[in-house]
Amino acid sequence: MKKIPASCINQVVQPRPPESHKGTFGRVLVIGGNAQFGGAAIMAASAAVYSGAGLVSVATDPVNHTALHARLPEAMVIPYDDPELKKLIPTMDVVAIGPGLGIDELAETILTRALEAVTESQTLIIDGSAITLIADRQLMLTHAKTVWTPHQMEWQRLSGITIKAQDEHSNQQAAAKLPGTVIVKSHRTQIFTPTTSYENPLGTPAMATGGMGDTLVGILAGFTAQFGLNDAALCAAVYTHSAIAEALAKTNYVVLPSALIQQLPQYMQQAATTRA
Protein backbone atom coordinates (compact mmCIF):
# COMPACT_ATOMS: atom_id res chain seq x y z
CA MET A 1 0.00 0.00 0.00
CA LYS A 2 1.32 3.41 -1.00
CA LYS A 3 1.84 6.07 1.64
CA ILE A 4 0.16 9.40 0.87
CA PRO A 5 3.06 11.69 -0.11
CA ALA A 6 3.30 15.16 1.46
CA SER A 7 3.60 16.56 -2.07
CA CYS A 8 -0.06 15.74 -2.80
CA ILE A 9 -1.11 18.91 -0.96
CA ASN A 10 0.85 21.24 -3.24
CA GLN A 11 -0.29 19.34 -6.32
CA VAL A 12 -3.95 19.64 -5.41
CA VAL A 13 -4.25 22.99 -3.64
CA GLN A 14 -3.45 25.58 -6.29
CA PRO A 15 -3.73 29.39 -6.27
CA ARG A 16 -7.28 30.41 -7.12
CA PRO A 17 -7.86 31.63 -10.69
CA PRO A 18 -8.48 35.41 -10.76
CA GLU A 19 -11.50 35.03 -13.05
CA SER A 20 -13.60 33.11 -10.58
CA HIS A 21 -16.67 33.42 -8.38
CA LYS A 22 -18.25 31.37 -5.60
CA GLY A 23 -19.83 29.01 -8.14
CA THR A 24 -16.35 28.15 -9.40
CA PHE A 25 -15.54 26.48 -6.09
CA GLY A 26 -18.50 24.16 -5.85
CA ARG A 27 -21.79 23.69 -4.07
CA VAL A 28 -21.86 21.40 -1.05
CA LEU A 29 -24.86 20.09 0.85
CA VAL A 30 -24.41 18.52 4.29
CA ILE A 31 -27.34 16.38 5.43
CA GLY A 32 -27.28 15.48 9.12
CA GLY A 33 -27.57 16.75 12.66
CA ASN A 34 -30.64 15.51 14.51
CA ALA A 35 -31.74 17.11 17.77
CA GLN A 36 -29.03 15.21 19.69
CA PHE A 37 -26.12 15.53 17.24
CA GLY A 38 -26.46 19.02 15.75
CA GLY A 39 -22.78 19.68 16.35
CA ALA A 40 -21.78 16.99 13.86
CA ALA A 41 -23.52 18.79 10.97
CA ILE A 42 -22.15 22.16 12.12
CA MET A 43 -18.57 20.82 12.22
CA ALA A 44 -18.90 19.14 8.80
CA ALA A 45 -20.37 22.29 7.24
CA SER A 46 -17.76 24.51 8.90
CA ALA A 47 -14.93 22.36 7.56
CA ALA A 48 -16.45 22.57 4.06
CA VAL A 49 -16.68 26.39 4.25
CA TYR A 50 -13.21 26.81 5.76
CA SER A 51 -11.64 24.47 3.19
CA GLY A 52 -12.99 26.70 0.44
CA ALA A 53 -16.26 25.27 -0.90
CA GLY A 54 -17.98 28.15 -2.72
CA LEU A 55 -21.50 27.62 -1.36
CA VAL A 56 -22.45 25.39 1.55
CA SER A 57 -25.98 24.40 2.54
CA VAL A 58 -27.06 22.29 5.49
CA ALA A 59 -30.18 20.15 5.78
CA THR A 60 -30.65 19.57 9.49
CA ASP A 61 -33.20 19.41 12.31
CA PRO A 62 -34.77 22.88 12.66
CA VAL A 63 -33.68 22.91 16.30
CA ASN A 64 -30.11 23.40 15.01
CA HIS A 65 -30.81 26.30 12.67
CA THR A 66 -30.10 29.12 15.12
CA ALA A 67 -26.90 27.55 16.38
CA LEU A 68 -25.72 26.89 12.83
CA HIS A 69 -26.42 30.47 11.75
CA ALA A 70 -24.69 31.83 14.83
CA ARG A 71 -21.58 29.64 14.36
CA LEU A 72 -21.47 29.68 10.57
CA PRO A 73 -23.39 32.54 8.90
CA GLU A 74 -21.79 31.56 5.58
CA ALA A 75 -24.00 28.46 5.42
CA MET A 76 -27.57 28.24 4.15
CA VAL A 77 -30.02 25.99 5.91
CA ILE A 78 -33.21 24.00 5.28
CA PRO A 79 -35.14 21.57 7.49
CA TYR A 80 -33.84 18.07 6.77
CA ASP A 81 -37.34 16.59 6.65
CA ASP A 82 -38.50 19.08 3.98
CA PRO A 83 -39.55 17.11 0.87
CA GLU A 84 -38.00 20.01 -1.14
CA LEU A 85 -34.67 18.41 -0.26
CA LYS A 86 -35.20 16.16 -3.28
CA LYS A 87 -35.19 19.22 -5.55
CA LEU A 88 -32.22 20.83 -3.82
CA ILE A 89 -29.95 17.77 -4.03
CA PRO A 90 -29.55 17.69 -7.84
CA THR A 91 -28.31 21.33 -7.79
CA MET A 92 -25.26 20.37 -5.71
CA ASP A 93 -21.78 19.25 -6.72
CA VAL A 94 -21.18 17.32 -3.51
CA VAL A 95 -23.66 15.86 -1.03
CA ALA A 96 -22.34 14.65 2.33
CA ILE A 97 -24.82 12.64 4.35
CA GLY A 98 -24.64 11.10 7.80
CA PRO A 99 -22.84 13.26 10.36
CA GLY A 100 -25.18 13.22 13.36
CA LEU A 101 -28.12 12.02 11.23
CA GLY A 102 -29.13 9.34 13.74
CA ILE A 103 -30.58 5.96 12.93
CA ASP A 104 -34.30 6.34 13.66
CA GLU A 105 -37.14 6.14 11.14
CA LEU A 106 -36.91 9.80 10.17
CA ALA A 107 -33.19 9.40 9.51
CA GLU A 108 -33.90 6.40 7.29
CA THR A 109 -36.56 8.35 5.36
CA ILE A 110 -34.18 11.26 4.77
CA LEU A 111 -31.37 8.93 3.71
CA THR A 112 -33.66 7.05 1.31
CA ARG A 113 -34.81 10.36 -0.22
CA ALA A 114 -31.21 11.48 -0.66
CA LEU A 115 -30.10 8.18 -2.21
CA GLU A 116 -32.96 8.46 -4.69
CA ALA A 117 -32.24 12.09 -5.56
CA VAL A 118 -28.47 12.09 -6.15
CA THR A 119 -27.39 11.79 -9.76
CA GLU A 120 -24.49 10.10 -11.51
CA SER A 121 -22.63 13.36 -11.99
CA GLN A 122 -22.57 14.18 -8.26
CA THR A 123 -20.21 13.16 -5.50
CA LEU A 124 -21.90 11.53 -2.51
CA ILE A 125 -19.98 11.22 0.76
CA ILE A 126 -21.56 8.68 3.10
CA ASP A 127 -20.53 8.93 6.77
CA GLY A 128 -21.49 8.09 10.32
CA SER A 129 -25.15 7.23 10.89
CA ALA A 130 -25.76 6.88 7.14
CA ILE A 131 -23.22 4.05 7.00
CA THR A 132 -24.79 2.37 10.02
CA LEU A 133 -28.25 2.68 8.44
CA ILE A 134 -27.15 1.30 5.08
CA ALA A 135 -25.39 -1.60 6.79
CA ASP A 136 -28.40 -2.37 8.95
CA ARG A 137 -31.29 -1.82 6.52
CA GLN A 138 -29.70 -2.87 3.21
CA LEU A 139 -30.84 0.31 1.47
CA MET A 140 -30.58 0.72 -2.30
CA LEU A 141 -27.26 2.25 -3.30
CA THR A 142 -26.95 4.95 -5.92
CA HIS A 143 -25.02 5.58 -9.10
CA ALA A 144 -23.52 8.77 -7.71
CA LYS A 145 -19.75 8.85 -7.31
CA THR A 146 -19.53 7.58 -3.77
CA VAL A 147 -17.00 8.08 -0.99
CA TRP A 148 -17.51 6.09 2.21
CA THR A 149 -15.88 7.27 5.43
CA PRO A 150 -16.42 4.59 8.08
CA HIS A 151 -14.56 4.37 11.38
CA GLN A 152 -13.59 0.82 12.30
CA MET A 153 -16.91 -0.09 13.95
CA GLU A 154 -18.90 1.40 11.05
CA TRP A 155 -16.65 -0.57 8.70
CA GLN A 156 -17.34 -3.74 10.69
CA ARG A 157 -21.08 -3.07 10.32
CA LEU A 158 -20.79 -2.36 6.59
CA SER A 159 -18.26 -5.02 5.56
CA GLY A 160 -18.88 -7.71 8.16
CA ILE A 161 -15.13 -7.77 8.94
CA THR A 162 -14.51 -7.59 12.67
CA ILE A 163 -12.20 -4.80 13.79
CA LYS A 164 -9.48 -7.32 14.71
CA ALA A 165 -9.64 -8.89 11.23
CA GLN A 166 -9.50 -5.56 9.34
CA ASP A 167 -6.23 -6.03 7.49
CA GLU A 168 -5.26 -4.55 4.15
CA HIS A 169 -6.24 -7.59 2.09
CA SER A 170 -9.69 -8.10 3.69
CA ASN A 171 -10.44 -4.40 3.56
CA GLN A 172 -9.44 -4.19 -0.09
CA GLN A 173 -11.68 -7.12 -1.01
CA ALA A 174 -14.68 -5.72 0.87
CA ALA A 175 -14.13 -2.21 -0.51
CA ALA A 176 -14.11 -3.59 -4.06
CA LYS A 177 -17.67 -4.85 -3.55
CA LEU A 178 -18.90 -1.32 -2.81
CA PRO A 179 -19.33 1.44 -5.37
CA GLY A 180 -16.66 4.15 -5.22
CA THR A 181 -13.92 4.74 -2.68
CA VAL A 182 -13.78 3.61 0.93
CA ILE A 183 -11.79 5.57 3.51
CA VAL A 184 -11.36 3.31 6.56
CA LYS A 185 -10.52 5.67 9.42
CA SER A 186 -8.24 4.62 12.25
CA HIS A 187 -5.00 5.84 13.81
CA ARG A 188 -3.54 5.15 10.33
CA THR A 189 -6.40 5.77 7.89
CA GLN A 190 -6.47 3.72 4.68
CA ILE A 191 -8.05 4.77 1.37
CA PHE A 192 -9.30 2.09 -1.04
CA THR A 193 -10.12 3.46 -4.48
CA PRO A 194 -11.43 1.18 -7.26
CA THR A 195 -7.86 0.80 -8.57
CA THR A 196 -5.41 1.29 -5.71
CA SER A 197 -4.93 1.98 -2.01
CA TYR A 198 -3.13 4.53 0.14
CA GLU A 199 -2.19 4.82 3.80
CA ASN A 200 -2.12 8.09 5.69
CA PRO A 201 1.33 8.44 7.29
CA LEU A 202 0.04 11.12 9.69
CA GLY A 203 -2.37 11.28 12.62
CA THR A 204 -2.13 11.70 16.37
CA PRO A 205 -4.06 10.48 19.42
CA ALA A 206 -4.78 14.16 20.04
CA MET A 207 -7.36 13.67 17.25
CA ALA A 208 -9.31 11.11 19.30
CA THR A 209 -12.23 13.39 20.18
CA GLY A 210 -15.86 13.54 19.05
CA GLY A 211 -16.39 15.47 15.83
CA MET A 212 -12.99 14.74 14.28
CA GLY A 213 -14.55 12.46 11.64
CA ASP A 214 -17.34 14.96 10.96
CA THR A 215 -14.59 17.49 10.29
CA LEU A 216 -12.91 15.14 7.79
CA VAL A 217 -16.23 14.83 5.95
CA GLY A 218 -16.33 18.62 5.50
CA ILE A 219 -12.73 18.74 4.25
CA LEU A 220 -13.41 15.91 1.78
CA ALA A 221 -16.52 17.77 0.60
CA GLY A 222 -14.65 21.06 0.25
CA PHE A 223 -11.72 19.47 -1.60
CA THR A 224 -13.82 17.39 -4.00
CA ALA A 225 -16.10 20.39 -4.69
CA GLN A 226 -13.08 22.47 -5.73
CA PHE A 227 -10.53 19.99 -7.03
CA GLY A 228 -12.73 17.17 -8.35
CA LEU A 229 -13.25 13.61 -7.24
CA ASN A 230 -9.89 12.00 -7.87
CA ASP A 231 -7.29 10.08 -5.87
CA ALA A 232 -5.08 13.13 -5.37
CA ALA A 233 -7.90 15.28 -3.96
CA LEU A 234 -9.02 12.54 -1.55
CA CYS A 235 -5.46 11.89 -0.39
CA ALA A 236 -4.86 15.62 0.03
CA ALA A 237 -8.01 15.99 2.15
CA VAL A 238 -7.09 13.10 4.45
CA TYR A 239 -3.49 14.36 4.69
CA THR A 240 -4.51 17.97 5.39
CA HIS A 241 -6.82 16.88 8.24
CA SER A 242 -4.02 15.00 10.00
CA ALA A 243 -1.22 17.44 9.13
CA ILE A 244 -3.06 20.34 10.77
CA ALA A 245 -3.86 18.13 13.77
CA GLU A 246 -0.22 17.10 14.14
CA ALA A 247 0.89 20.73 14.01
CA LEU A 248 -1.64 21.72 16.68
CA ALA A 249 -0.77 18.68 18.81
CA LYS A 250 2.76 19.99 19.28
CA THR A 251 1.36 22.44 21.82
CA ASN A 252 -2.13 21.03 22.52
CA TYR A 253 -2.90 17.85 24.44
CA VAL A 254 -6.14 17.44 22.50
CA VAL A 255 -6.94 19.00 19.12
CA LEU A 256 -10.47 20.35 18.99
CA PRO A 257 -12.22 19.96 15.64
CA SER A 258 -13.13 23.67 15.78
CA ALA A 259 -9.47 24.61 16.24
CA LEU A 260 -8.46 22.39 13.31
CA ILE A 261 -11.16 23.94 11.12
CA GLN A 262 -9.88 27.46 11.93
CA GLN A 263 -6.44 26.52 10.57
CA LEU A 264 -7.69 25.28 7.18
CA PRO A 265 -7.50 28.53 5.16
CA GLN A 266 -3.98 29.30 6.40
CA TYR A 267 -2.71 25.75 5.78
CA MET A 268 -4.20 25.71 2.29
CA GLN A 269 -2.81 29.13 1.41
CA GLN A 270 0.64 27.96 2.45
CA ALA A 271 0.22 24.85 0.27
CA ALA A 272 -0.93 26.95 -2.68
CA THR A 273 2.01 29.34 -2.48
CA THR A 274 4.94 26.99 -1.73
CA ARG A 275 6.59 24.46 -4.02
CA ALA A 276 6.42 20.73 -3.24
Cα first-last separation, the chain: 22
For 25, which DSSP code?
Answer: G
Q: For the chain, give me the number of helices (H) and strands (E)? A: 11, 10
Q: To the nearest whole angstrom, how small is the minimum distance from the Cβ of residue 243 to ligand NPW?
A: 20
Binding mask 111-150 for ligand ADP (x = CB under 6 A): -----------------x----------------------
Q: Is 185 in the site for ligand ADP (CB under 6 A)?
A: yes
**Distance, CA of 93 to CA of 90 (rounded, Å):** 8
Query: x-or-dash pattern for ligand NPW, window 47-86, by CB under 6 A?
Result: ----------------------------------------
Q: Are 222 and 53 in contact (CB under 8 A)?
A: yes
Partner that binds at residue 37, options Mg ion, ligand NPW, ligand ADP, none, CB closer than 5 to 8 Å by kind: ligand NPW
Tell me if 65 is assigned to a ligand binding site: no
Cα–Cα distance, 264 to 233 (Å, whole number) = 15
Nearby residues of 152 by Cβ (< 8 Å), 6 or more positions away: 163, 166, 184, 185, 186
Q: Kindly state the number of chain residues that form the binding site for ligand ADP, as judged by CB under 6 A.
A: 17
* DSSP class per residue in 104-146: SHHHHHHHHHHHHH--TTSEEEEEHHHHHHHHHH-PPP-SSEE
In the bound state with ligand ADP, the residue whose beta carbon lies nearer, of 75 and 260, is 260
Contact 38, 75 (CB under 8 A): no
Residues 146-205 that bind ligand NPW (CB under 6 A): 151-154, 163, 186
Stretch that binds ligand ADP, among 68-76, 104-112, 210-218, 263-271 (CB under 6 A): 210-218
Distances (CA, A) of 147 to 43, 90, 95: 18, 17, 10
Report which secondary-structure segment, H or E, holds 249.
helix 231-249
**Residue 102 vs 128, nearer CB to Mg ion:** 128
Q: Which does 269 bind (CB under 5 to 8 A by kind): Mg ion, ligand NPW, ligand ADP, none?
A: none
Using CB under 6 A, which of 26, 54, 211, 218 touches ligand ADP?
211
Which CB atom, from 54 or from 150, has the smaller least distance to Mg ion?
Answer: 150
Question: Is 189 part of any known ligand binding site?
Answer: yes
Q: Can you tell me which of 26, 203, 211, 222 binds ligand NPW, judged by CB under 6 A?
A: 211
